[in-house]
Amino acid sequence: MDQALSPEEITALPAPALQQHLAEGALTAERVSEVFLSRIEALDQAGPAVNAIIEVNPDALEIARGLDRAFAEHGPIGPLHGMPVVLKANIDTADSLATSAGSLALAEHHAAADAPLVARLRAAGAVLLAKTNLSEWANFRASDSISGWSSLGGQTHNPYVLDSNPCGSSSGSAVAVAARLAPLAVGTETDGSIVCPAALNGVVGIKPTLGLVSQQGIIPIAASQDTAGPMARTVAGAASLLTVLLDHAVDYTTDATDLSGLRLGVIRDYYGADKRPRVKAEYHRWLEMLRNAGAELIDPIKVRTNEAISNAEFEVMLYEFKAGLNEYLESSGAAQTSLADLIAYNDAHAETVMPHFGQDVFLAAEAKNGLDDPAYKAALAASGALVRTRLEALFATHRLDALIAPSNAPAWKTDRVHGDRSLLDSAMIAAVSGYPSITVPAGLILELPVAISFIGKPGEEQQLIDIATVFEQVRGEFPAPRFIPTLEPRERQ
């Protein structure tokens, strides 16, 4: 058995290539897990100290050895045989890893059963290497929260420029993949929590169609928008992980090489479109790449999201968060059994739980009535239902295969006084509607990644993966992070 690859060569392999080495027996699961665990030790808490990992699985090497024994008897047990995977710390695992949502209140909360997506990962042969840090409570505790910070895990850092923000809430999952602490990661999204951190940290993230991946066993925010999804350094890697996460058999392998015959709608009215001239210039370059690859661009397409839709979306989240979280806590055996209990815990431990920001969002959610409240139903109609109707009309009228928008502006400097200050957001379109989207690294501005998003019709993940694959091909190799301490001056446009 050839174990000649160096640790640096192993961690540099894209996920599909690493999968192939493991499936062919050229690398053992134990060797691969050892390499990534050593890299976590060297880069996560030491060296640049990106702080992506909230807890390493103490059983990871034993799991890997068991997979090697199984391989010796009958070959790989599944498509992810021996592949290290890290999970956001709001996903239930029936092991020694806590499902904490990054909160000190749930630091000792251990699930009785795996979330269905975790069971599928284990059955596919994955090694659950660690859980990742996140924006506490998936960025839904306070309006002035700091993405990538949790009271349990501290602050996660962007590996491209360390004092820059990693976005959230799946901060650690994205940073772990970008910094090559793991080849694959699972994040979750309600609005932007996969797409934004993937984009800001230079990795691929897929937000699947609402309901495509089971949400059972995941600490909820809003049932009408929540989904888990994959992150990897390449489209093929993310697609291979998505295949495993699904509740039904789908193979997202693609051999797409051009975009001939596809009609792509160019979104120009995304939030912050007029405030980021460098992003606009990059966007123009990406559109030319897509046109040269054979796509027909329908430009512009106006989705017409606005503040009223955003406000209605937030109202929906408040109602659904209270209802969903109370149900999760009551059924999971957590020490706190309701949102009211968590608010009381935070007040009692304010010095450690709330040193930078409070819990005004928690308080607003607790003040809401149940899901039979007419105000909730009105907000639901004014957000998700309205945007879905608009998107359905746009796709039909213009015969579109997908929509395009920039995913992000360059990351802002992490600010513990004022919180987040992103000035570009195209994630809400897919988030509110439940439509699928994929973000692909597209370039660097001042050493910081910027990305492009493709939004498709419900259930058409394959189409998005094909389009993203071609874009990735014409873009070429994307630069790895260099762990730069800071940028001066910080001209973030």
Residues annotated as catalytic are 88, 169, 193
Token couple for 492:
């973030």
Token couple for 267:
């979104």
* CA-based nearest residue to 252, from 272, 268, 230: 230
Alpha carbon distance 179, 40 (integer Å) = 9
What is each CA distance from 116 to 119, 220, 221, 461, in whole angstroms? 5, 15, 18, 20
Token couple for 182:
């793991």
Alpha carbon distance 33, 36 (integer Å) = 5
